[in-house]
Amino acid sequence: MVVGDFPIELDTLVVGAGPGGYVAAIRAAQLGQKVAIVEKGNLGGVCLNVGCIPSKALINAAHRVEHAKHSDEMGISAENVTVDFSKVQEWKSSVVNKLTGGVEGLLKGNKAEIIRGEAYFVDQNTVRIMDEKSSQTYKFNNCIIATGSTPIEIPSFKWSERVISSTGALALKEIPKKMVVIGGGYIGTELGTAYANFGTEVTILEGSDQILPGFEKQMSTLVSRRLKKKNVEIFTNAMAQGVEETADGVTVTAEVKGETKTFEADYVLVTVGRRPNTDELGLEQVGVELTERGLVKIDKQCRTSVPNIYAIGDIVEGPALAHKASYEGKIAAEAISGEPAEIDYLAIPAVVFSDPELASVGYTEAEAKEAGYDVKASKFPFAANGRALSLNDTDGFMKLITRKEDGLVLGAQIAGPSASDMIAELGLAIEAGMTAEDIALTIHAHPTLGEITMEAAEVAIGSPIHIVK
């Protein structure tokens, strides 16, 4: 290839190497396209570096601490449980490094060129990629934009050493004595739970009338109850107003149900959402249309208003989920190769690694009714499952949503241990057009949490074994 003032030509250029971008690049290369992927930061994007992966590592470590301290019921007691937080952070970083190194190996193994730098669109077939030392022009036939999102900064809570985003919370050098979390969504709840398990006094301020407002009230109530057992204070209908910083802490002011309250802490973690990274790309140069929120408008093949430019992940409509971005990356790459791939979000799962875990896929009961279905909601409790009892973790339930006329599976919600793993079977059931009877007739290994799926299906068809009809 010729470099310098002469443009390098590509079949497909992918901008952003997060879980959407790197998957898109690999699939495009597998389909025979000459591919390059450009990334200004670390391979793996937010998810692998400062999001999904490090947060789950921290959550798992915190669970180990909690289990060590609270297993008296099982006849196990441990005295003077200590945490070397610097070692926890080292271990967390080792997990991240293994995965980001793996991504680099996968890209190279599929012959996708990796380019370091920032991309700026010159026209609909050209970008200029710049790093600190040089710049290079690349010509492409097609482009997939996968630049992800950034935590939203509240004007009255500017980022600082004590006012931190999720990125800052994952990189703390010590376990805080006190932490205020603004925003009780999935990020705030997950990280708040992790630090509470480490021993931090956590206060969550949530603007709506429940934490985890994207989930059914009965599910979020289970999480609230567990958090309160960990001495986490939760204030709903709470609007954060401002913060005063000192050398060793913060004082947060908030309006809670019409009353002004103050909260003192070592840190305030702000998790009120994320904004799409669509600025400073030069999209206006090529006529890529955006929504009022700065999201890129796409069709069912992830194609933007410019036919040869595609967009995926957090910069398009829908939930900011890594697995959604990966899914869309495959669709875009296949569409470029002329395959009839289209996005279908019906069976996209949503998971919160709270305590207990929450997971949902397909329709909720309310959504199914709103869509015009005559539905049946069938529940089975974790407390009636032998494996859950042996884990000493019986809070929770599975709720199966089926169509009354034929038992077609429309959706499912799970609150309980390993909900994040269990939801996949229900996603497959929806994708495959399976009925509750199909699931009930599938032999599930015993004793497992997976049996709860079979048992909920048996409730749906009117033949439950392990609960009274």
Q: What single letter denotes the amino acid at residue 350?
A: A
Range of the domain at 112: 8-151+275-336
Give the residue, 70 or 360, on which the prediction is more confident: 360
Does the annotation flag 396 for ligand binding? no
Q: String of b and e for 304-328 (b: at least 16 CB within 10 Å)?
A: bbbeebbbbbbbbeeebbbbbbbbb
Question: What integer pLDDT is reported at residue 6 of this predicted model?
Answer: 59
Does the annotation flag 314 for ligand binding? yes
Q: What is the CATH number of the domain that holds 197?
A: 3.50.50.60
Is residue 326 located within the same domain as residue 367?
A: no
Q: What is the CATH number of the domain that holds 409?
A: 3.30.390.30
Catalytic center residues: 446
User: Is 146 within a domain?
Assistant: yes
Q: Is the pLDDT of residue 443 over 50?
A: yes
Residue 288 phi, psi dihedral angles, 5° rounding = -75, 125
Average pLDDT over every residue of 381-389: 98
Is residue 89 located within the same domain as residue 226?
A: no
* CB distance 230 to 193 below 8 Å: yes
Q: Is the pLDDT of residue 184 over 50?
A: yes
* CB distance 251 to 264 below 8 Å: yes
Q: Give the model's confidence band at 279: pLDDT under 50 very low, under 70 low, under 90 confident, else very high.
A: very high
Tally of domains within the chain:
3
- pLDDT tens-place string over residues 5-14: 557 899 999 9
Does the annotation flag 184 for ligand binding? yes
Is residue 142 located within the same domain as residue 248?
A: no
Q: Is 419 helix (H, G, I), strand (E, B) or coil?
A: helix
Question: What integer pLDDT is reported at residue 387 of this predicted model?
Answer: 98
Does the annotation flag 291 for ligand binding? no
Q: Give the model's confidence band at 1: pLDDT under 50 very low, under 70 low, under 90 confident, else very high.
A: very low
* CB distance 249 to 263 below 8 Å: no
Is residue 295 located within the same domain as residue 403?
A: no
Is residue 68 located within the same domain as residue 186?
A: no
User: Is 231 within a domain?
Assistant: yes
Is residue 68 located within the same domain as residue 185?
A: no
Q: Is the pLDDT of residue 347 over 80?
A: yes
Question: What integer pLDDT is reported at residue 123 of this predicted model?
Answer: 96
Which residues, in sequence order, are bridge partners of residue 20?
A: none
Does the annotation flag 56 for ligand binding? yes
Residue 7: both structure tokens together:
């443009």
Is residue 129 located within the same domain as residue 112?
A: yes
Does the annotation flag 187 for ligand binding? yes
Average pLDDT over every residue of 421-443: 98
Average pLDDT over every residue of 314-343: 97
Q: What is the model's pTM?
A: 0.95
Is residue 136 located within the same domain as residue 175?
A: no
Does the annotation flag 206 for ligand binding? yes
Is residue 247 located within the same domain as residue 217?
A: yes
Q: Give the model's confidence band at 217: pLDDT under 50 very low, under 70 low, under 90 confident, else very high.
A: very high
How many residues are listed for the chain in this entry? 469
Q: Is the pLDDT of residue 39 over 90?
A: yes
Is residue 312 located within the same domain as residue 456?
A: no
Is residue 332 located within the same domain as residue 361?
A: no
Last residue within a domain, chosen from 223, 255, 272: 272
Average pLDDT over every residue of 260-278: 97
Question: What integer pLDDT is reported at residue 133 of this predicted model?
Answer: 85
Q: Give the model's confidence band at 247: pLDDT under 50 very low, under 70 low, under 90 confident, else very high.
A: confident
Q: State the chain's mean pLDDT as an integer.
A: 96
Is residue 318 located within the same domain as residue 394?
A: no
